[in-house]
Structures are given as C-alpha cells and as structure tokens.
Amino acid sequence: MENWYVPVMFALFAAHLIPMVVLGIKRRELYYLAPIMTFTLLTLTFGLRLFAPQFEVGGQPLHEPVRYAAWTAAAISVPLLILRIRKRRRARRKSKTNPEDGDRNATMPEADIE
C-alpha cells in the first residue's frame, strides 16, 4: 500500500473525535465546538481518502477542500486551547496566592508555620 498512513490517521482522528464529542455533549460548553469540528473534518478527510478516493469536486479530489477546511478549523481550535490553558493557569496561580480563608501559609507548603 502506497499511503500506509491513511488508515492510521483515520483511526487516530476518529479515536480522538469520539471522546471529544462525548465531552462536548456531557459538559455542554461552546469551547468543544472547535475541536469537535476539527476532528470531524480530519476524520472525514482521511475517510474520503481511504473509502472514496474517486469523489471529485471541480476536477480535484474531494478530500482536498475538506482538508483545507480542517486546517482552518485547527487554526481556530489551537489558539482557543492555548487561551483556555492560560486562563486555567492564571486562575490556579490566583487561588494559590489569595486563599479564601485568609491564611497565606495554608496553600504554600514551603513556608514555616509555627
């Protein structure tokens, strides 16, 4: 087989798509729409290459425009992921420096408490 990676990538993206859809439905957060769309388009791209390489649109294989759409979705999804991670880190840092009970030493194990 010339393109041995096509079924591997199809399985990889499908394996990521399934839990992402489950999380998106379970948590009902708009954030999950971008990665779900990205993994859907990537799975579709490799699925078309694997199962329907003869499908064409405007003289080019159908998987090519789907792949470009997947790139666009990834270009949106990755920065959103980075922003989400940064927001979580800031919130954790803030909660460590400003504990709710007012005792700064409660969340800082390296401080000497007498």
pLDDT tens sequence across 57-96: 989 999 999 999 999 999 999 999 999 999 999 999 888 8
Instruction: Please give the backbone phi and psi of residue 101, each rounded to the nearest 5 degrees, phi first.
Output: -80, -5
> Containing domain of residue 91, as a range?
5-95
Domain count, the chain: 1
Q: 68 in a domain, yes or no?
A: yes
Pair of tokens at residue 12: 């990889």
Q: Do the domain assignments include residue 69?
A: yes
pTM, 2 dp: 0.74
Whether 1 shows a pLDDT value over 50: the answer reads no
66/23 Cα distance (integer angstroms) = 24
Instruction: Assess if residue 107 is contained within a domain.
Output: no
Residue 103 domain flag: no
Q: How far apart are CA 84 and CA 107, in angstroms?
A: 24
**In-domain check, residue 108:** no
